[in-house]
Each structure stands twice: as C-alpha cells, then as structure tokens.
A and B are shown apart, each in its own frame.
Chain A
Amino acid sequence: MKTEEEATRAVDTYGDMVRRICVLHLKNKQDTEDVFQTVFLKYLLHDSPFDSEEHEKAWLVRVTVNACRDLLRSFFRKSSVPLEMAEELSSTDEDREVLQAVLSLPVKYKDAVYLHYYEGYSAAEIGKILQKKENTVYTWLARGRELLRQSLGGDWE
C-alpha cells in the first residue's frame, strides 16, 4: 500500500490525464468522479513499486481505460456518446469541433488516437498499454485518422 502523500501527488500529477481519458468514454461528472476514485484507490492500494515515472503513467492509463470500460459495461450506457461534454469543456469553436470529432470515433479508435496524438505514445507503446498487437494499433490509428479527416477536413493534423 502506498502512502496517502504519494496518492495525493499522483492525483495532482495525473489528474488531468485521467480526466481526459474519462472524457473519451464517459458522459457525466458522476461517472467521472467514480472512475477517479476507483483509479486512485487502486493506486493507493498498489503494493509493488513502479520502475519509473513512465511506468507509473502507463499503469494509470491502462487502469483508467479499464475502469471506464468496466463502468460502461455495468450500465445501459453503451450507446451513449459523450458529445455534450465537448461543449462544456472546450473554450473555442475550433477546439469544440476537434473534441466532438474525436469523441465521435468508435471506442477502440478513441483511446489510440488520444494516446498517440495527445500523449505522444508510439503504436508499439499503445499496444503494450492496451495489451493489443502493434499492428492492430496501427490499423486503429489509420482508421481513426481517416474518420477525422472526413469530419475535420484534410488539414486537421
């Protein structure tokens, strides 16, 4: 078990990242709060030390993605798309448009796109984090890119 201070530091350091992954999957604040608590409680109870900050960060990404999926799996929310969240969260029309486009992607593409374009992970790293083959991640990224190009235009990158 980690100390309370370590868990608080993790909330400060990785809170924004966890929030963004929640945005990709969840519709409302209550669900986000639930996932937040689940993720950081798991962190608090995690016994073995992390090799590095990168290891710690990748662990939190995987736990957050799984927590979001578990939450959605347990309720009648599979079909819900958190589009309205984009309006609440973005300050400019351009940002809102991009967020809405990403959130509209099929679930399996959203994580790969976010992790690649925002967090800067390579396809191989994403494959490790999400426990998928690297080629699968490449396919998701290619399809996601294509869908984004369709909705945002050719120069979205």
Chain B
Amino acid sequence: MNRIQKAFSSVQAEPELKEKTVEFLHAQAVRKTGTVNRFRVYAAACAALVVLVAGIIFYGVYTTPVSYISIDVNPSVELELNLFDRVIAWNGYNDNGEVIAQEVDLYNMPYTEAVDALLQDSQMEQCLAKEGAKLMFTVSSDKEEELTAGIESCQGYILHHGTCASAGTEEVHDAHELGLSMGRYRMYVELQQAGVEITPEECQNLTMRELMDLLENAPDSSTEETTSNSSESSLSSSSASSDSSSHHGEENGHGSGTGNGNGTGTGNGNGYQWGKHSSSGHE
C-alpha cells in the first residue's frame, strides 16, 4: 500500500451522511412514484370519461324511438323501436290494449319476436278468434319497407291474415294527440271523410272489424269509392292471406276504375301510404 492509499483509506463517508442521502433518495423516489401514479390516475380518469360519454351517447341512441308499429284488432298496442329495431316501449291505446300491454314484457326484443309474442297473448288470441276479426299493422319508420317485410314474415301475421299499412311521422303525432293508435287514427280519419259521425273515444274501443263495417256502410256511398280510390292514389295496403294479393288487387282495381276523378283530392288529404305492394300492383 502506497502512502496515498494509506492516507486516503482513513477518509470514509460518515454513517450520518449515508443515512441522510438514503433518506433523501427515499423522498425523491416517493415523489417520482407519486408523479407516475398521478399520471396514471389522470389517464384512467380520461379513459373513464371517454367510456362514460360513449355510454351516454349509446344509451341516448338506444333509448330513442325511431320507428313505430301499431297493432290493432280490438286491442290496440303500439311498439316503439330504437335504431336497432328492438322494442324500447309498448303502449296500449284502448282498454284491452292497456291490459295486454301490462301483461307482456317485450323490452329489448327484436320487433318480429315482439309481434308474435303479442299475437300469442291469450286475450289477443281470443279477440283474433272472433269471426271476421281484422288484424291491422301500421308502420311509421324511415325503413318502412324493411319493417313491413319483417312483419309480413311473422307467424301471427300469416296465421291471422293481417294487413300492413304505413304512416308518416306527423300522423303518429296527430294520432297520439287524440289518444289513438296509428291504425285507429287512420280509420278515424277515413270515417270522418266518409261522413260518419264518430268521436276518437268511440273509435278507440270499437273493433277494427266494426270500424271497417262502419266505413263500408257509410251514408255517402261515393265516399266509400273515394276511399278505395284514394287508396290507389295515396293510400295502399297489403294483406297476408295467401289469396290476398289477387283479392286485394280486385278491390283496388275497382276503386281506381270508378272513382278516379273525385277520389284524388280526399286521398291526398289523408296523407297515408297504404303499403307499396298493391299500389305498385295497380300500375
């Protein structure tokens, strides 16, 4: 060992100096770790916020009705569908309809399943089993064709020879203001035009068959023709029965043949689209 080594070997870091340094490093390490943790907390908070906002937007979209399907026999039940064609609400629009609406749980069901579930309800089945019972669907949607095709493929629709019509969003609004389903509102307007004195309340609880009979026996026979005629110009409907297309074609053919001149005005006034199949059939 040289003299420099010997002299310098007596120089050592004091234990207090080492301890102080270790404590200082500990404090710094905690601060640094804290900084890292804060960053992670911020990142997690941002991610949670994004998920929350996305969730709120999705919830908003999911629970906003964009399509309506009205099912009328005597019970009138209307389905509200979201963007994904799933049922988010269903309302009864007369006494029978309200009872059935309370019995069934259709939430989140695809509309085709919901239609069949409604038609299989015991009360609904009883009403449909009555002689001459009329099952009518009315659709209001931007994708009305798709929904109509879906409804027409439902077992209940085929079994009970349903018919399907469509309505615009304004009609939905007007119908609901009067406390009527879309299907009943359509009949109400037609009866008014045919000169039948009827209130929305009376219209609410008559069966669809009774309403149709009223329309057929309307005092102004020309109005009936006008109504048929108006089907051609602005209203049209389709039927589910196997012979419906030919049968329906005859009816509409009659309407257009006899009342083309005076029917157009009233038909346009209704503002309905009675399904596309028969209207295109005319042309």
Contacts and interface: CB of A to CB of B under 8 A. Distances in A.
Tell me, yes or no, whether A binds B: yes
Interface stretch (B22-30, B123-131, B162-170): B22-30
Interface string A2-20: 0110011001100110111
A18 B13 contact: yes
Given A7-B25, A41-B24, A157 B17 contact: no
Contacts of A4: 25-26, 29
Interface of B, helix, strand, loop or mixed by DSSP: helix
Interface of A is mostly: helix
A16 B13 contact: yes
Contact of A7 (B7, B17, B29): B29
A118 B7 CA distance: 9
Scoring B5, B8, B29 by chain A CB atoms within 10 A of each residue's CB, the highest score goes to B8
Interface of A: 1, 3-4, 7-8, 11-12, 15-16, 18-20, 23, 29, 32-33, 36-37, 40-41, 44-45, 89-91, 94-96, 98-99, 102, 113-114, 117-118, 152, 156-157
A17 to B, nearest CB: 9
A83 to B, nearest CB: 14
20 contacts: A4-B26, A11-B21, A11-B25, A12-B18, A15-B21, A16-B11, A16-B12, A19-B11, A19-B17, A36-B17, A41-B25, A44-B28, A44-B29, A45-B32, A96-B7, A117-B5, A118-B4, A118-B5, A152-B3, A157-B3
Interface of B: 2-8, 10-14, 17-18, 20-22, 24-26, 28-29, 32
Nearest to A36: B21
A49 to B, nearest CB: 18
Contact of A95 (B6, B14, B28): B6
Given A11-B22, A11-B25, A12-B18, A89 B10 contact: yes
